[in-house]
Every structure is written in structure tokens, then in C-alpha cells.
């Protein structure tokens, strides 16, 4: 069972050209920075975070265009698997 350990946070990615894949990559990079996740997948910014059992979810919520800008709307949420690891087998 997954438990939310970080409140959803909205992220807007603004690009000068339309490219959904790059916007997703930017949203992921921003999520890593916002949550303070390091190269070992650990962070001290998120209470309850465990590198072995935690993950982030980045959800796309919409797109709009203004002259010269493509805006992609995402939310970022951190989750932890609350089930105990079974390393005994």
C-alpha cells in the first residue's frame, strides 16, 4: 500500500517550443530538485522518505499556449510503500 508522504505540488513547465517529452523530463528534474533527492535516491526534505521504498509521481494535468510559450501543468507527489520489505526469503 502506498502512502502519500509529501503534499502534491503544482509545477508549470514553460517552453518556447512544443515538446511534451522534454517538458516531462523537465518536470522530473524539477521534482528531484524540489524534493532534494540525491544520487543515492535519498533526501532529508521529505519526512518519511526511505530510498528503498519511496517514489515520486509526476502527473500531467494540462497544456495551454500563449504567444511564444507552451505551458505544461504537472503535479508532483512523493509516496512511500508502507508494507514491510520481506528480505528473509
Q: Which residues of the chain have pLDDT under 50?
A: 85-89
What is this structure's pTM?
Answer: 0.79
Please write the tens of the pLDDT for every residue from 49-64.
888 888 899 999 999 9
Q: Are 77 and 12 in contact (CB under 8 A)?
A: no
Q: Are 50 and 1 in contact (CB under 8 A)?
A: no
Alpha helices in 1-89 (DSSP H): 20-35
What are the residue ranges spanned by the domains of the chain?
A: 2-81
- Output the nine-digit C-alpha cell for 52: 528503498
Amino acid at each position: 500500500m502506498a502512502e502519500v508522504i509529501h503534499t502534491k505540488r503544482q509545477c508549470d513547465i514553460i517552453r518556447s517550443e512544443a515538446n511534451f517529452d522534454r517538458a516531462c523530463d523537465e518536470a522530473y528534474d524539477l521534482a528531484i530538485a524540489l524534493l532534494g533527492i540525491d544520487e543515492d535516491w535519498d533526501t532529508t526534505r521529505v519526512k518519511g522518505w526511505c530510498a528503498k521504498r519511496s517514489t515520486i509521481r509526476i502527473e500531467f494535468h494540462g497544456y495551454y499556449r500563449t504567444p511564444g510559450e507552451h505551458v505544461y501543468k504537472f503535479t508532483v507527489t512523493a509516496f512511500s510503500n508502507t508494507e514491510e520489505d520481506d528480505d528473509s526469503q
